[in-house]
Amino acid sequence: MATQQTRALGKLAVSPSVFALFMWMIVPLAMTIYFSFLRYNLLDPNPICSLLSPGALLDAENRCLAGITNYSYFLTDPAFFKAMGNSLKLVGWVLAISVVGGTLLALLLDQAFYGRGFVRIMMIAPFLVMPTVSALVWKNMMMNPVSGFLAYLFKLVGLQPIDWFAHAPMTAVVLMVAWQWVPFATLILLTSLQSLDEEQKEAAEMDGTPPLSYFWYIVLPHLIRPMTVVILIETIFLLNVFAEIYVTGTAGRAGNLPFLVYQYGLIANDIGGASAGGIIAVILANIVAFFLMRMIGKNLDA
Binding residues (CB under 8 A) for other proteins: these are 197, 199-200, 202-210, 213, 217-218, 221-222
What is the closest distance, in whole angstroms, from the C-beta atom of residue 302 to other proteins in the complex?
A: 8
Task: Return the number of the residue (204 or 236) whose C-beta is nearest other proteins.
Answer: 204
Name, in order, each residue with C-beta under 8 angstroms of 185's C-beta and a sequence gap of 6 or more: 98, 99, 101, 102, 103, 106, 230, 234
Nearer to other proteins, 30 or 224 (CB): 224
Cβ distance to other proteins smaller for residue 61 or 199: 199
Query: Smaller CB distance to other proteins: residue 78 or 221?
Result: 221
* Axis-axis angle for helices 169-194, 116-128 (nearest 10): 140
Distance, C-alpha 12 to centroid of its chain: 36
Cβ atoms 99, 232 nearer than 8 A:
no
Nearer to other proteins, 149 or 217 (CB): 217
Strand, helix or coil for residue 139: helix
Residue 56 DSSP label? G
Element (H, E) at 11: helix 4-36
Least spacing, CB of residue 296 vs other proteins, in Å: 15
The nearer residue to other proteins, 94 or 218, going by C-beta atoms, is 218
- Dihedral over Cα of 182, 184, 189, 191: its sign: positive
Shortest distance, position 189 Cβ to other proteins, whole Å: 16
Angle subtended at Cα 249 by Cα 243 and Cα 252, rounded to the nearest 5 degrees: 110
Which lies closer to other proteins via its Cβ, residue 217 or residue 290? Answer: 217
Residue 245 neighbours by CB under 8 Å, 6+ apart: 173, 251, 254, 255, 256, 259
Give which of 228, 230, 250 is closest to 238, Cα–Cα.
230
Measured distance CA(42)–CA(26) in Å, rounded: 24
- The answer to whether 132 and 247 are in contact (CB under 8 A) is yes
